[in-house]
Amino acid sequence: MREIAILGIGQTPISEHWEKSLRAIAGEAVLAALADAGRERADGPALSAVEGLFVGNMLSGLLNRQENLGALIADWVGLRGTEAVKVEAACGSGAAAVRAALMAVASGAMDCAVAVGVEKMTETVGPQTTAALATAADADWEAAQGLSFVAINALVMRRYLHEYKWKHTDFAPFSINAHANAVHNPYARLHDAITAADYNRARMVADPINLLDASPIGDGAAAVVLVPADLIPRNGRPVVTIAGSASATDSIAVHDRRDPLWLSAAAESAKKAYAQAGVGPADIDVFELHDAFSIMAALSLEACGFAERGQGPRLGLEGQIHPTGRVPIATRGGLKARGHPVGATGAYQIVEVAQQLRGEAGATQVPGAKIGMAQNIGGSGATIVTHILKAN
Amino acid sequence: MREIAILGIGQTPISEHWEKSLRAIAGEAVLAALADAGRERADGPALSAVEGLFVGNMLSGLLNRQENLGALIADWVGLRGTEAVKVEAACGSGAAAVRAALMAVASGAMDCAVAVGVEKMTETVGPQTTAALATAADADWEAAQGLSFVAINALVMRRYLHEYKWKHTDFAPFSINAHANAVHNPYARLHDAITAADYNRARMVADPINLLDASPIGDGAAAVVLVPADLIPRNGRPVVTIAGSASATDSIAVHDRRDPLWLSAAAESAKKAYAQAGVGPADIDVFELHDAFSIMAALSLEACGFAERGQGPRLGLEGQIHPTGRVPIATRGGLKARGHPVGATGAYQIVEVAQQLRGEAGATQVPGAKIGMAQNIGGSGATIVTHILKAN
């Protein structure tokens, strides 16, 4: 497969963007990514060089009454006419769009594609958003039974606490690290550091998940410009390439799994991505994982080989997840504090890993980061897309 | 780009499938396509050979309260674990999913992909469906102004009648041909032949579009199995390959176009597909076009080079659109009578062109068909995907 590079990255702050439409939010990220590509290389692709636009989005139909986002956003950014399509994999839509763009360029169908993840969620009322998010789960056998998305994750976390004898407070380091890192990320939704005491007294959402276990929704978009690596002229700056890309699924309903505490699609997609990149967990310098809930951070670390089964929380308790630790995660705030505009999140993760590999992560820079991984989850582990990036 | 073949095709009857869930409808088409691949070649891919599932769907979030269809359907058909994703381009979702699958196989990421278009629309009430379909248009500048999707097309048809001096009844041949052909298609939604008198006295929907100008919605799914052409052992049967595949966009709002009567995305995607396949309109033996409304049949014929501008209806009036005519269209009933389960339609079109190239189209077989084209439209011309198939 043709080696693909990420030449440009762009993102919007994650916030409540009452003043901006869905297309404007997406457009801001797309144009920022193209401008960034121009800064990276003097002859970076102009807008007119873009041959395909891949939009990752989950909820535009339900929350914005708008489908056909490909054409909508292409036109808005000045790409009227250009091939464009929406890719959906629930909260995994962002990375799924990047993977679709990657395959489009790798196939030879085009030499320059832009993937943008976008979501505009905050203009609607809470119950409507909660109901919309439940469409990531099994409509007939989970949502129709009254299970919201956070409730499903609460059942998983409850089971985890029971099986592996952890206390709820043992998950605090995941949230504390995420919030501490987000303070330094101007694009993050939350900029307040938290303490263990804050975590322990946070309001309950769905027992045992409290407010500081859960990621905040938001409006935002992130984009990447993909080109064949061999078409990038060398100018001394590192080239960030996609060394591994894989996607896998699991049953959509958690109760259908042999083991509700094992993210088999995370394990499977990571295994494939590791093999493609010729690396293993020990080689990963930074790991942007899908900490929609703190329990998911633990399960992701275990499925991807960074912790033994049932031992995910230990990495946090031992201080290994900070930017200078052995397994840096959520270095720009993660879903927990950077925010979780669901269909955009996977694109943010890839943008953030690219920032780390370029050495542009500021106060939360992972020293000497050369290989990074981003893993995006749709549903409670149902669709998982893993990317491994390298600085060359 | 690696040449891709369609080894298996499958479809469900389009109907009101109250007895079947969305996943069951999709699964039926996927398994039918795999069974068909097994019949075509003794060593056709087993279910376990499928490495990617690409689901074309528009309305599952709004009408079925279900997203994450990739994982949902993969699990249902026995592909739990396999990469899967949903692709959305409004009513063009079906062909967009086929194109995504094509690029995935062409990239070398996988050697066997299944694309399935699926929609389940009839379990909801009419106004809800009408509002959902309006998400294919511009939410802010069309739908929010009260324009339903049929109303937009009615404005286009009204303008066409005015500009080119046709009478409404001049569009009758499109509907009569579609209904006549659907009588012989067991998968079609409607099986009643109609006359010009029926057409002229049909109830008005949105002036000048009457009930027999408009395609019926429905529940259904169609699927194709894609593999690299060079991996198919020859056994005397023709191999159907995808010789051209292209997608293009236009402004999502019709009023933003320089000419509301010119489908520029149809022209652009057809031009690219013709170039890839090394053919022109005169070489196309069968053309499954997107006759969601009779006006769209005329505009598609013009944009793709089968008729002069403003002269689309002439082909019908001269009797050239029948299976034995010069430009056979809607040979299995088209959207008008086969039915229009929106996100599935593009996949049905490709299945039907493959049937023609294999010589399996029964009473509506186009004699000696070797090259066929399928064109699927999302929105009022906003996203258009064109495929050219060849029998080799």
The least confident of A80-84, A115-119, B134-138, B232-236 is: B232-236
Give the pLDDT score at A279.
98
Q: Select from A288, A343, A298, A292 the least CA-distant residue to A58.
A: A343
B68/A contact by beta carbon, under 8 A? yes
Amino acid residing at B124: T
Per-residue pLDDT band at B47 (split at 50, 70, 90): confident
Does an H or E element contain B119, and which?
Answer: strand B113-119
SS3 content of chain B, % helix, strand, coil (to 5): 40, 20, 40
Beta-bridge partner residues of A241: A5, A390
N- to C-terminal Cα distance for chain A? 17
Instruction: Inspect the interface and report whether the beta carbons of A140 and B86 lie closer than 8 Å.
Output: no
Beta-bridge partner residues of A308: none
Instruction: Please state whether A267 falls in left (phi above 0), alpha (psi between -120 and 50) or beta.
Output: alpha
Q: Select from A301, A256, A279, A382 the least CA-distant residue to B83.
A: A382
Instruction: Inspect the interface and report whether the beta carbons of A87 and B84 lie closer than 8 Å.
Output: no
The whole-angstrom separation of Cα B289 and Cα B330 is 7
Residue with token string 């409290």? A210
* Closest-CA residue of chain B to A253: B72
Q: Which two tokens stand for residue B168?
A: 């409404």
- pLDDT of A153-185, one tens digit each? 999 999 999 999 999 999 999 999 999 999 999
Instruction: Inspect the interface and report whether the beta carbons of B109 and A106 lie closer than 8 Å.
Output: yes
pLDDT, mean of residues B9-17: 98
* Closest-CA residue of chain A to B384: A83
Instruction: Inspect the interface and report whether the beta carbons of B249 and A84 lie closer than 8 Å.
Output: yes
User: Are the beta carbons of A182 and A190 closer than 8 angstroms?
Assistant: yes
What's phi and psi for B114, nearest 5 deg?
-115, 130
A81/B contact by beta carbon, under 8 A? yes
Is the bond into B208 cis (omega within 30 degrees of 0)? yes
**From the list A60, A103, A140, which residue is nearest B103 (CB)?**
A103
> A67: which chain B residues are within 8 Å (Cβ-Cβ)?
58-59, 88, 90, 135-136
Instruction: Name the minimum distance, in Å, from the CA of A219 to any CA of chain B.
Output: 18
Instruction: Inspect the interface and report whether the beta carbons of A264 and B89 lie closer than 8 Å.
Output: no
The whole-angstrom separation of Cα A360 and Cα A354 is 8
* Closest-CA residue of chain B to A268: B81
Q: What is the DSSP letter of B210?
A: E
The whole-angstrom separation of Cα A325 and Cα A316 is 10
**From the list B67, B84, B132, which residue is nearest A135 (CB)?**
B67
Q: 132-191 in A: which are within 8 Å (CB) of B?
A: 132, 134-140, 143
How many contacts, defined by CB atoms under 8 Å, are there between A and B?
215
Size of chain A in residues:
392
Give the catalytic positions of B in this structure: 91, 340
Q: Which two tokens stand for residue A198?
A: 């804050």
> What's the whole-model pTM score?
0.98
> B72: which chain A residues are within 8 Å (Cβ-Cβ)?
138, 252, 382
User: Are the beta carbons of B66 and A135 closer than 8 angstroms?
Assistant: yes
> A252: which chain B residues are within 8 Å (Cβ-Cβ)?
68, 71-72, 75
Residue B195 makes CB contacts below 8 A (sequence gap 6+) with B176
* Closest-CA residue of chain B to A385: B83
The whole-angstrom separation of Cα A291 and Cα A203 is 19
Query: For chain A, which residues score pLDDT lower than 50?
Result: none
Give the pLDDT score at B234.
83
- pLDDT of B165-190, one tens digit each? 999 999 999 999 999 999 999 999 99
Size of chain B in residues:
392
* Closest-CA residue of chain B to A72: B252
Q: How far is CA A158 from the centre of its chain?
A: 24
Q: Is the pLDDT of residue B106 over 90?
A: yes
Instruction: Inspect the interface and report whether the beta carbons of A85 and B89 lie closer than 8 Å.
Output: yes
Burial class for A177, CB neighbours closer than 10 Å (0-12, 13-18, 19+): buried
Q: Is the pLDDT of residue B126 over 90?
A: no
**Mutation site, A83, A111, A257, interface B, largest B CB count within 10 A:** A83
Strands B371-378 vs B286-288: parallel, antiparallel or unpaired: parallel
Give the pLDDT score at A237.
86
Instruction: Inspect the interface and report whether the beta carbons of B131 and A65 lie closer than 8 Å.
Output: yes
Give the pLDDT score at A215.
98
Q: Select from A240, A253, A187 the least CA-distant residue to A374.
A: A240
* Closest-CA residue of chain A to B105: A107
Give the pLDDT score at A45.
86
Give the pLDDT score at B233.
84
Is the bond into B216 cis (omega within 30 degrees of 0)? no
- pLDDT of B28-45, one tens digit each? 999 999 999 999 888 888
The whole-angstrom separation of Cα B34 and Cα B54 is 14
Instruction: Name the minimum distance, in Å, from the CA of A265 to any CA of chain B.
Output: 6
Give me chain B's average pLDDT, please: 97
Q: Select from A325, A18, A363, A15 the least CA-distant residue to A181.
A: A363
Give the pLDDT score at B110.
97
A61/B contact by beta carbon, under 8 A? yes
Instruction: Inspect the interface and report whether the beta carbons of A250 and B81 lie closer than 8 Å.
Output: yes
